[in-house]
Amino acid sequence: MPELSRRASELGTENAFVVLGEVAELQAQGREIISFCIGQPDFPTPEHIAQAGIRAIQEGHHGYTPSPGIQPLREAVAKYFSRTRRIDVGTDEVVCGCGGKPFIGYTILSVTDYGEGHEVIYPNPGFPIYQSQIVANGAVPVPLHLREGKGFVFDLDDLRSKLTDKTRLLILCSPQNPTGSVISRSDLEELAGILADYPDVWVYSDEVYSGLVYDGPFESIAAVDGMRERTIIADTASKTYAMTGWRIGYAANKALAPSFTRWVTNTDSCPPHPNQWAVVEALNGPQDASDKMRDVFQERRGRIVDGLNAIDGITCQMPGGAFYVWPNVTEACKMIGVADSEELRKRLLHEAGVAVLADIHFGTRVEGDGEHVRFSYASSFEDIDNGLAKIDDFIRKNTK
Ligand SMILES: Cc1ncc(COP(=O)(O)O)c(C=O)c1O
């Protein structure tokens, strides 16, 4: 049997999908599981957006499109970026792809060379695809730890210590997956000051949760003085408009747009054609449905944070965005005598019927910061209440 490449055998993944498989297996055996695993809105795509997609199919918009997307979509994205980031983004800067995710790989491929020791700094805990794409594309992963004491935002001195003459890319994510943390405008400004000494460093600003900020306006590093040209703004229709399966995302950067376009041509040819028309409607049409979803998420955020803090052994900070919470479960692990968050996660799944993800699914555990798990609150109030009651009950019954 011929062998696989080392790249293929070592390729990382999103372990959320592995846990989802475990959940599905238990459900198939008839077990009732309340799942807080999935990172997607539990709302249907708003009707006017879905209808625009249906219309596009009926009107024959089924063929290939230009790789960076149809012109009306690129224009709609440019307007959307300009409006929500309070900067002036041109249509020629925008490239659309099959979701926000592909732009992570396209960027690493566009700004680092394989095996040259080019370093990419990325948040840990963080979206696991950053690390897997850095490694698969032959760059050097440099994790930047997010600590609980700093509200899960990186320490600027820590960042300073990680920048070298080999650094080519800094990945930022705000609001963040998995912690829900938001980087403040003042931190972004200070960060821009630090990067002024490193002109070779690009910034990939993963803004896929930009539509889910609860305590103020969304702030992009692209809007900070000196950062516009070197920042790749990446966003998606997935989270803001409940369109994860439609697979439309977009990125903007003037210098990299031609390169992104080539990567799209080399991989998917173009994003799905009818779906592009649906996203034109999402971005240009009424925003009430997505505003309403955000309001519901905000209410759920309060409910789940209060509920978690009421459980013995668990403490949870109030995150500023996305639909995730990242409670500290160190004490709960000690109380019931499990080794770590992963063992706790397994017992919660099998014994309490509640599915969450563990910190190790999002990178390496941050030394000195204890054990964490991730809840997605893209689930109903009823599931939040029942799921937390089951966890409370499980901890009470198993406390030694
Ligand atoms: C931080 C982050 N970036 C990118 C993505 C991918 O978004 P999309 O589904 O649009 O590809 C996700 C999805 O969970 C995410 O959490």
Looking at the fold, whether 321 and 299 belong to one and the same domain comes out as yes
Please state, rounded to an integer, the average pLDDT across all residues of the chain.
97
- Does a structural domain hold residue 377? yes
Res 176: pLDDT: 98
Best residue for ligand 1 mutational test, from 122, 208, 323 (most atoms within 8 Å of Cβ): 208
Q: What percent of the chain has pLDDT over 70?
A: 100
Q: Is 131 in the pocket of ligand 1 (CB under 6 A)?
A: no
Q: Does any domain span residue 225?
A: yes
Could you identify the atom of ligand 1 that is nearest to the CA of residue 248?
10
- Ligand 1 site-directed mutation target among 15, 96, 101, 176, most atoms within 8 Å of CB: 101
What is the pLDDT, as a whole number, of residue 287? 97
Residue 61 is part of a domain; what is its CATH number? 3.40.640.10
Q: List the strands of the sheet with 140-147, edge to edge.
A: 94-97, 249-252, 231-236, 202-206, 167-173, 119-124, 140-147, 153-154
Q: 273-284 and 71-85 helices cross at what angle (nearest 10)?
A: 30
Supply the range of the domain harboring residue 371: 6-44+289-398
Q: How many domains does the chain have?
A: 2
Which residue CA neighbors atom 5 of ligand 1 most closely?
Answer: 101
pLDDT of the residue at 232: 98
Mean pLDDT of 71-90: 98
pLDDT at 116: 96
What pLDDT band is residue 18 in, cutting at 50, 70 and 90?
confident
Query: Is there a domain that residue 107 lies in?
Result: yes
Distance 349 CA to ligand 1 centre (A): 25
Residue 305 confidence (pLDDT) above 90: yes
Q: Are residues 264 and 313 in the same domain?
A: no
The response to whether residue 100 sits with its C-beta less than 6 Å from ligand 1 reads yes
Summarize pLDDT for 348-386 with one digit per residue, the tens.
999 999 999 999 999 999 999 999 999 999 999 999 999
Judgement on whether residues 333 and 223 belong to the same structural domain of the protein:
no
Whether 1 is in a domain gets the answer: no
Q: Over range 61-80, report the average pLDDT.
A: 98
For the range 137-143, what are the long-range contacts, defined as Cβ-Cβ under 8 Å and sequence gap of 24 or more?
137/105, 137/108, 137/109, 137/112, 138/112, 138/113, 138/114, 139/108, 139/112, 139/114, 139/168, 139/169, 140/166, 142/167, 143/363, 143/364
12 part of a folded domain: yes
Do 155 and 193 share a domain, yes or no? yes
pTM for the model stands at 0.97
**Which CATH number do you get for residue 11?**
3.90.1150.10
pLDDT of residue 15: 81
Q: Given pLDDT bands bounded at 50, 70 and 90, which one contains residue 38?
A: confident
Q: Is residue 231 pLDDT above 90, yes or no?
A: yes
Pair (162, 214) in one structural domain: yes
156 and 177 in a single domain? The answer is yes
